[in-house]
Amino acid sequence: KILIIGAGGQIGVELTLALRKIYGRNNVIATDIREEHPILKEDNGPFFNLDVMDTKEVAKIVARENITQVYLLAAILSATGEANPIWAWDINMQSLLNLLEICRENKVKKFYWPSSIAAFGPNTPRQNTPQHTIMEPTTVYGISKYAGELWCQYYFNRYGLDIRSLRYPGLISWKSAPGGGTTDYAIDIYIEALKKQHFTCFLSEDTYLPMMYMDDAIRATIELMEAPAEKIRNRTAYNLSAMSFSPKEISESIKLHIPEFTIDYAPDYRQQIAASWPQSIDDSEARADWGWKHEFDLAKMTEDMLKNLRNKQ
């Protein structure tokens, strides 16, 4: 059985639905500290309220439900993390350490924990950022993701725990709300374009960032987890990429569908977070090792986002 922790989050909701399609609804247990997400309620699969920091409770569920795979998606993201650094570090790190120990003790077969391009920093080469390069993240979220990658590699090397991870770019989705990220302007812009035909962007117009449509991110996660263990060369986290764009470029792609759409820019504290991250990512090792290939570019994503957001209204 599969346990998903943080199943109510931006990635969690869609990953839960996707895994249930593959493994069967009752074999994928969704948990979250918040009450069950409406989309999961509708899906009517197994759900428990669970605080990832309650180690005893987590261990009880893993043992009682004969869990063989764990997806740990609970985290405090970059923008929120900067407002509460110690709290964000504690949650992001202690949750991972709790689960690494529980998975080791219960001989869980596979463990997934997401990293992020936030694990890179301002000294990292910013174009086509390589898989192996200078890290030195400058946000608490990024520090926790880089430290977490090294802990994952440690548990693989020392205990043989089959842990896998991806350095997600900014993820764009319409089904579930984002949670305090710096890249979330790229979600809000679509919602505001439909509602008000105008958007005030908290990043400057030429802020290039690596981005990915959620459909691609979910497929990448499942393809990574289903690849034969011997193909996995990186036990920190794989670089993963689809596209890079700036607020100016995404607004142009929206104008093709909503000609009256206008945008203005009011960069805030999230500008320097974005400025510390790469502008484009080299994911050739993911493509070579387990056949990664993205499907959504900016035009295709904009079309899909606007179509789905219109239907959702």
**Residues lying near ligand VAH in the complex (CB under 6 A):** 77-78, 116-118, 141, 169-171, 181-183
Which string of DSSP letters, residue by residue, matches 265-310?
A: E---THHHHHHTS-SSB--HHHHHHH-------HHHHHHHHHHHHH
Task: Tell me the residue nearest to ligand VAH as measured from the CB.
Answer: 181
Give alpha helix (H) positions in the chain: 10-23, 38-43, 55-64, 78-83, 85-105, 140-159, 185-196, 214-226, 247-255, 270-275, 284-290, 298-312
CB of 11 to ligand VAH, least distance (A): 9
Q: Give dist(CA 117, CA 135) in Å, integer.
A: 10
CB of 75 to ligand VAH, least distance (A): 9
Instruction: Please identify, using beta-carbon distances, which residue of 148 and 181 lies nearer to ligand VAH.
Output: 181
Catalytic residue from among 23, 71, 112, 141: 141
CB of 51 to ligand VAH, least distance (A): 22
| 265 assigned to active site | no
CB of 81 to ligand VAH, least distance (A): 8
Instruction: Please identify, using beta-carbon distances, which residue of 47 and 202 lies nearer to ligand VAH.
Output: 202
Instruction: Please identify, using beta-carbon distances, which residue of 170 and 247 lies nearer to ligand VAH.
Output: 170
For residues 220, 149, 16 and 82, what is the CA-based torsion angle, rounded to 10 degrees? -110
Kindly report the CA angle at 238 between 176 and 118, in degrees rounded to 5? 60
Instruction: Please identify, using beta-carbon distances, which residue of 193 and 209 lies nearer to ligand VAH.
Output: 209
Q: Give dist(CA 28, CA 139) in Å, integer.
A: 33
Q: Give dist(CA 127, CA 211) in Å, integer.
A: 14
Q: Give dist(CA 160, CA 104) in Å, integer.
A: 9
Instruction: Please identify, using beta-carbon distances, which residue of 171 and 193 lies nearer to ligand VAH.
Output: 171
Identity (one letter) of the amino acid at 17? L
Instruction: Write down the residue that tokens 């979220």 correspond to.
Output: 141
Q: 110 near 225, Cβ under 8 Å?
A: yes
CB of 279 to ligand VAH, least distance (A): 12
Instruction: Please identify, using beta-carbon distances, which residue of 2 and 124 lies nearer to ligand VAH.
Output: 124
| Burial degree of 207 (CB within 10 A; 0-12, 13-18, 19+) | buried
> Within 13 Å and on the Cβ side, how many CA atoms surround 149?
26
Q: 123 Cβ partners below 8 Å, 6+ apart?
A: 134, 136
* Phi and psi at residue 29, to the nearest 5°: -95, 120
Instruction: Please identify, using beta-carbon distances, which residue of 102 and 172 lies nearer to ligand VAH.
Output: 172
CB of 242 to ligand VAH, least distance (A): 12
CB of 116 to ligand VAH, least distance (A): 3
Residues labelled as active-site residues: 141
